Homo-oligomer: A and B are copies of this chain.
Amino acid sequence: MATPAFEYYQAHQKQFLEGLIRLLKVPSISTLPEHKPDVRSAANFLADEFRAMGMQRVEIIEGAEGQNPLVYAEWLGASGKPTLLFYGHYDVQPPDPLEEWSSPPFEPSIRNQNIYARGSSDDKGQTYILVKAVEGFLKSEGRLPVNVKFLIEGEEEVGGEHIEAFVPKNPEKLRADAAIICDTEMFAPELPTITTGLRGLVYTEVEARGAAHDLHSGMYGGAAPNPMQALAEIISRLKGPDGKIRIPGFYQRVERPSAKELAAWKRLPFKEKEFLKKEVGSRALTGEKGYSVLERLWARPTLEVHGIRGGFTGEGAKTVIPAVATAKISMRLVPAMNPKEVIRQFTAYVKKLTPPGIQTSVRVLSSAPSSVVSTENRYIEAAAEAMEQVFKKKTVYMRSGGSIPIAGLFDRYLKTPVVMMGFGLPDDRLHAPNEKFYLPNFYRGIEAVGRYMELLGS
């Protein structure tokens, strides 16, 4: 691999890192309205890079009012060669709780070959791998081995409304032989991995209303309905202590992975004790009995409460019975569950569980189906080969418990195979304090994507 592009990769690691640090410094938190200017600034940063490295066409694509822009770039000079659509996202999750970060979330800090910052792994670091892999060819050879289109979004963490509207309307512009999503992780350090399945997501807010206004728990406790108590009752009945979700019909369409896939997962270097100790750090794992941890994480649906708003949570003691309380509750879906059906089942069951005196309403914040891809296609095989050559280990296939709605979207509207090459690590703490990205994977990721283009172009 001593081509000019690979020499460029080796020679420019310092510049690549500097560029990544600049991108990580932008607090492009898509869920917080006050960060709108930062979100735009991250989009502009990428567009500027695309222009500077010589992409033929670069666009900042505006959506409906309030939506974050898509960044599009293309280089289509490899006549007769395959076309790849590269996907990533430049928006990030909120960093709270801030006090748990060892270094500030938007001041990247390098410790032990890891770069710590919100978005370092999810997904700026990985998006930047795609950008730099392409830059290497353009800057050193003036051309790419294949045709490339980039589509980078800024709403991945908030439901992706813009891209969801854009893709179905622009199949021609986005037409490609394969879509490469760089937003997943490797099963273990040094173990090249391709993700072949993702869980879907239904994210809701359940609001419970009791009295017309907040009440004093001394004066009214014992007769007035308490919406916090009602939410606790509803939540505890949605999922049993055995990890089984109690929503009627919820499991009816669930398909188990094939015996072959389950057998392959058993061969993965997974140690439950280590996972518990190093990744989770709790006293015990939870979840459905009768399923391995990997199956629970990748191929079983779940239901989680993310937070409950309402009442008094400050310092000290306020004896209030709140009038309103709201719980954020999401479900992860697996093949072949249907998000719309799940929303109906969930809403109906919440209504049914609502105790007397309380009124509930369910609002859906985002939803996406699960997706699985077949490993038997040229674009996945080449990706496995490229990663193997760079990492010097046989590539494994895994699924992910997370949700990347864009995978289903590409599959459905572009009819293109989706290749999920990821370079994150299991302990990257996505969405949590002290998110980090392992820098050797940043550099090897760039080489792997470069090699992938070479393999497909040869």
Contacts and interface: CB of A to CB of B under 8 A. Distances in A.
A382 to B, nearest CB: 27
A306 B322 contact: yes
Interface in A264-304: 275, 279-288, 293, 296-297, 300, 302, 304
A403 B319 CA distance: 10
Interface stretch (A51-59, A250-258, A387-395, A430-438): A430-438
Interface stretch (A79-87, A352-360, A440-448): A352-360
Nearest to A275: B223
A94 interface: yes
Contact of A302 (B221, B302, B317): B221
A357 B222 contact: no
A219 B433 contact: no
A330 B321 CA distance: 11
Given A236-B236, A358-B282, A305 B228 contact: yes
Contacts of A433: 213-214
Given A94-B318, A216-B430, A358-B282, A307 B310 contact: yes
A313 interface: yes
Given A222-B297, A229-B239, A217 B306 contact: yes
Contact of A201 (B218, B304, B307, B312): B218
A222 B288 contact: yes
Given A31-B317, A317-B366, A221 B432 contact: no
A222 B31 CA distance: 25
A434 B330 CA distance: 35
A33 interface: yes
Given A229-B239, A236-B232, A218 B400 contact: yes
A70 B137 CA distance: 77
A27 interface: no
A261 interface: no
A212 interface: yes
Nearest to A229: B305
A311 interface: yes
A311 B307 contact: yes
A270 to B, nearest CB: 11
B431 A320 contact: yes
A1 interface: no
Contacts of A281: 211-213
Contact of A228 (B218, B307, B320, B359): B307
A223 B297 contact: yes
A28 interface: no
B318 A306 contact: yes
Given A213-B433, A284-B356, A311-B328, 9 more contacts: A97-B214, A213-B281, A215-B431, A222-B288, A222-B296, A222-B401, A228-B305, A232-B305, A320-B431
Interface of A: 31-33, 93-94, 96-97, 100, 157-159, 185, 199, 201, 203, 209-226, 228-229, 231-233, 235-237, 239, 241, 243, 275, 279-288, 293, 296-297, 300, 302, 304-322, 326, 328, 330, 332, 355-359, 365-366, 400-403, 426, 429-434
The 5 A-B residue pairs with the shortest CB-CB distance, nearest first, are A212-B281, A218-B402, A307-B311, A232-B235, A31-B316
5 contacts: A209-B282, A216-B432, A223-B297, A226-B286, A307-B310
